[in-house]
Amino acid sequence: MNATTKLYAAPALALLLAACSGSTQPVTPKTPGKAPAKVTAKGPATSPMPAPTSPPAIPAKPAEPVKVVSESVQDPHSYARPQEATVEHLKLDLTVDFQAHRLTGRASLRVKNKLGVDHLILDTRGLDIQRVTLDDGKTEAKWSLGAADKLLGQALDVQIAPGTAWVNVDYSTRPETAAIQWLTPAQAGSPSPLLFTQSESILARTWIPCQDSPGVRMTYEATIRTPPALMAVMSAENPTKKSADGVYRFRMPNAIPSYLLALAVGDLEFRPLGTNSGVYALPSVVERAAWELADTPKMIAAAEALYGPYKWGRYDILVLPASYPYGGMENPRLTFATPTILAGDRSLVSLVAHELAHSWSGNLVTNATWNDFWLNEGFTTYFEGRIMEAVYGRPYFDMLAVLGRQDLVDAFQELGATSPDTQLYLNLAGRDPDEGTGDVAYEKGALFLRTLEASVGREKFDRFLRTYFDTFQFQSMDSARFVQYLKQNLLGGDEAQAKNLQIDAWVYSPGLPTNAIEPHSEAFAPVDQAVKSFAGGAPAAQISTTGWTTHHWLHFLETLPTPLDRAKMADLDATFHLSDSGNSEILSTWLMKVVQGKYEPAYPALERFLTTVGRRKYLKPLYTELAKTPEGAEMGLRIYEKARPGYHSVSQVTVDQILGWRG
């Protein structure tokens, strides 16, 4: 982690972020199927109009999997009606104002009016819309905003003609907008301020008016005007040098869903890693990042050898400040990543394999709705494992697989093994799609594919996957359609085999089907032995840890008894200095032990971690564990008060909910 990064240093931003807490509180939203009460551009309408804009109502819970093609799957998290009219290209012209914390400018959307309708419905949330024009920008459009839903935002209803080609929206984002984190120089750990966006799952609409559904794809171009001496980068063709005038032009010639729209602006530098890949980061971080991520070209080669050519031109990685709420985000051409992967020994680079794998699973073949999220993440976790195996060998992969299996055990424990949230296919209508992003989609999804691989053989399975990516590239995919395709193309329509493999249970039932394969790692045998003897009373100094890698340590910590008594905690920390670990995975896993064991001597380390790292995957379990006892909750709240202003809204929403934060 970047030692100079301080997440809690900026009172001004603290106030702004605290002020926005109201708009980021979790809510139980209405589905967009309901007719929104209308608010016109000039103010609230006196009487709610009938709603020609409302999409068809969503069935609350499909009794059984609906067998439909993806185009007709209604996204419960979007107001848009792409079946009628689709946005096929976006042209952005935005000015970045670091003083006002606003992006201001125009989004021009090129419309393909499939059914000759007279309304285009866009998703927006918290945008200040000034004006909407059609085509050449000289024709004023009639437009109105639907009722505001805290999660889904407001439908922007623009009247168009069947021949309208362009809809131009002049707008600004608000300072508290959910997708964007505006970092002060102190927060960024830089002499300059920095901003980044995070659009997945449904936050693109908080910085761009768009059809914010993963089932809709568009190409885009953008002009971004920044203060001089800063660099702008996007999920598009990127500069490698700062421009003299602060103006940057971007082009994304491949059609992508809105959740892959991304922008970052800051004092960034570029270092090449190979001919086709490189890394962007702050000058103070970029050398370290380039060293850590040096194997990226090998991973690209391994991925291409498995499932076909990389379709996006370059593959670069942007290493962001520690408030970045995710480990990584697969923004096309430019993965966004947390600096917590810079462990100094390249031991956490499976994250790069993961985000790179999304260039096929997710970015080429995209989940049709967030209910099908496992098609993005389960496939990607499987593919990640294959890349890691190809580059670092089978024993390395085996360790990752065992650790992933442990994560799944934990997820089942947390959710309850019969919870519908342990299905691969989810029903998230009326809920925040973020609630479906836990380990189940990743680890149960990957285990499903590994089980299929083990059953049909690797060669056949690889051929199947390669054809799947080729066949559905630049399209979306839903669970029902995938199951159908799988039965037909991998199992040759053999229903008995499909039954044997419990295909439907994997996708549509909670828990784990009985045919799930069990990963095993030889390398972990000595670790299991060490856990046994240490738990049995042997001192830590007697554990032989020579040759242990990050993954050995993680397995050790995860399989120790919980809670561990104080004397053992003290012995471990004194012997291995776990509280001072510079490895974010080891440190966060140790800190879980600290909270579970109420091991007070390590509380300062816990506080340091929670106030310097904003990665939700770490924050969520730690705050959740703290919230289990009154003293823990009190400490959690005290730390959170200090840390919250430095977290991205995505992490704020999660921790607000855990701690019952009201600001």
Of residues 440 through 469, those in contact with ligand BES by CB under 6 A are: 442
Binder of residue 437, out of Zn ion, ligand BES, none (CB less than 5 to 8 A by kind): ligand BES
- Site for ligand BES contains 330 (CB under 6 A): yes
- Residue position matching structure tokens 């190809």: 390
Half-sphere exposure (Cβ direction) of 13: Cα atoms closer than 13 Å: 29
Round to the nearest angstrom and report the end-to-end CA distance of the chain. 28
Q: Which pair of structure tokens corresponds to residue 647?
A: 């977290």
* C-alpha span between 293 and 271 (Å, rounded): 11
- Site for ligand BES contains 437 (CB under 6 A): yes
Binder of residue 327, out of Zn ion, ligand BES, none (CB less than 5 to 8 A by kind): ligand BES
Complete DSSP assignment for 436-458? G-SHIIIIIHHHHHHHHHHHH-H
Q: Name the residue nearer to ligand BES (CB basis): 102 or 617.
A: 617
List residues bridging with 639 in a β-sheet.
Answer: none
Binder of residue 200, out of ligand BES, Zn ion, none (CB less than 5 to 8 A by kind): ligand BES
Q: Name the residue nearer to Zn ion (CB basis): 201 or 323.
A: 201
- Site for ligand BES contains 258 (CB under 6 A): no
Evaluate whether 29 touches 427 at the Cβ level (below 8 Å): no
Binder of residue 398, out of ligand BES, Zn ion, none (CB less than 5 to 8 A by kind): none
- Site for ligand BES contains 377 (CB under 6 A): yes
Evaluate whether 17 touches 644 at the Cβ level (below 8 Å): yes
Evaluate whether 381 touches 408 at the Cβ level (below 8 Å): no
Beta-carbon neighbour count of residue 141 at 10 Å?
19
Of residues 360 through 389, those in contact with Zn ion by CB under 5 A are: 377, 380
Task: Single out the residue of 328, 385, 438, 519 in contact with ligand BES (rule: CB under 6 A).
Answer: 328
Half-sphere exposure (Cβ direction) of 583: Cα atoms closer than 13 Å: 20
What φ, ψ does residue 286 adopt, rounded to 5°? -65, -35
Contact region for ligand BES (CB under 6 A) — 237-245, 276-284, 348-356, 566-574? 348-356
Contacts with ligand BES by CB under 6 A: the residue count is 15
Which candidate in 315, 324, 442, 599 is catalytic?
Answer: 442
Task: Report, in Å, the least distance between residue 350 CB and ligand BES.
Answer: 6
Contact region for ligand BES (CB under 6 A) — 49-57, 140-148, 174-182, 349-357? 349-357
Residue 176 bears catalytic tag = no
Task: Report, in Å, the least distance between residue 381 CB and ligand BES.
Answer: 7
- Provide the 8-state DSSP code for 31: P
- Site for ligand BES contains 367 (CB under 6 A): no
- Site for ligand BES contains 125 (CB under 6 A): no
Evaluate whether 585 touches 614 at the Cβ level (below 8 Å): no
Check the CA dihedral 353-354-355-358 and report its sign: positive
Which candidate in 269, 355, 389, 585 is catalytic?
Answer: 355
Q: Using alpha carbons only, how large is the chain's radius of gyration in Å?
A: 24
Closest residue to ligand BES: CB criterion: 327
Tell me which H or E stretch contains 251.
Answer: strand 247-256
- Site for ligand BES contains 201 (CB under 6 A): yes
Q: Name the residue nearer to ligand BES (CB basis): 334 or 543.
A: 334
Evaluate whether 619 touches 655 at the Cβ level (below 8 Å): yes
Binder of residue 257, out of Zn ion, ligand BES, none (CB less than 5 to 8 A by kind): none
SS3 of 105, please? Answer: strand
Binder of residue 174, out of ligand BES, Zn ion, none (CB less than 5 to 8 A by kind): none
Q: Name the residue nearer to Zn ion (CB basis): 102 or 617.
A: 617
Q: Name the residue nearer to ligand BES (CB basis): 36 or 385.
A: 385
Task: Single out the residue of 207, 250, 310, 326 in contact with ligand BES (rule: CB under 6 A).
Answer: 326
Q: Name the residue nearer to Zn ion (CB basis): 209 or 257.
A: 257
Q: Name the residue nearer to ligand BES (CB basis): 377 or 478.
A: 377
Residues 600-639 as x/- pattern, contact with ligand BES by CB under 6 A: -----------------x----------------------
Task: Single out the residue of 263, 329, 428, 627 in contact with ligand BES (rule: CB under 6 A).
Answer: 329
Task: Report, in Å, the least distance between residue 41 CB and Zn ion.
Answer: 39
Q: Which pair of structure tokens corresponds to residue 135?
A: 């085509």
Evaluate whether 186 touches 6 at the Cβ level (below 8 Å): yes
Sort strands 315-319 and 334-337 into parallel, antiparallel or unpaired: parallel
- Residue position matching structure tokens 């310097």: 612
Task: Single out the residue of 125, 333, 358, 555 in contact with ligand BES (rule: CB under 6 A).
Answer: 358
Binder of residue 250, out of Zn ion, ligand BES, none (CB less than 5 to 8 A by kind): none
Evaluate whether 645 touches 663 at the Cβ level (below 8 Å): no
- Provide the 8-state DSSP code for 74: P
Task: Report, in Å, the least distance between residue 324 CB and ligand BES.
Answer: 9
- Site for ligand BES contains 351 (CB under 6 A): yes
Residue 603 bears catalytic tag = no
**Which amino acid would we find at residue 42?**
K
Binder of residue 617, out of Zn ion, ligand BES, none (CB less than 5 to 8 A by kind): ligand BES
Cis amide linkage into residue 201, ω under 30° from 0: yes
* C-alpha span between 630 and 617 (Å, rounded): 23
List residues bridging with 631 in a β-sheet.
Answer: none
Evaluate whether 3 touches 178 at the Cβ level (below 8 Å): no
What φ, ψ does residue 126 adopt, rounded to 5°? 65, 25
* C-alpha span between 90 and 106 (Å, rounded): 10
Binder of residue 267, out of ligand BES, Zn ion, none (CB less than 5 to 8 A by kind): none
Name the region of 13 (left: φ>0; alpha: ψ -120 to 50; beta: rest): alpha
Contact region for ligand BES (CB under 6 A) — 34-42, 63-71, 296-304, 325-333? 325-333
* C-alpha span between 217 and 312 (Å, rounded): 15
Binder of residue 568, out of ligand BES, Zn ion, none (CB less than 5 to 8 A by kind): none
- Site for ligand BES contains 354 (CB under 6 A): yes
Just list the catalytic residues.
355, 442
Binding positions for ligand BES, rule: CB under 6 A: 200-201, 326-330, 351, 354-355, 358, 377, 437, 442, 617
Task: Enumerate binding residues for Zn ion (CB under 5 A).
Answer: 377, 380
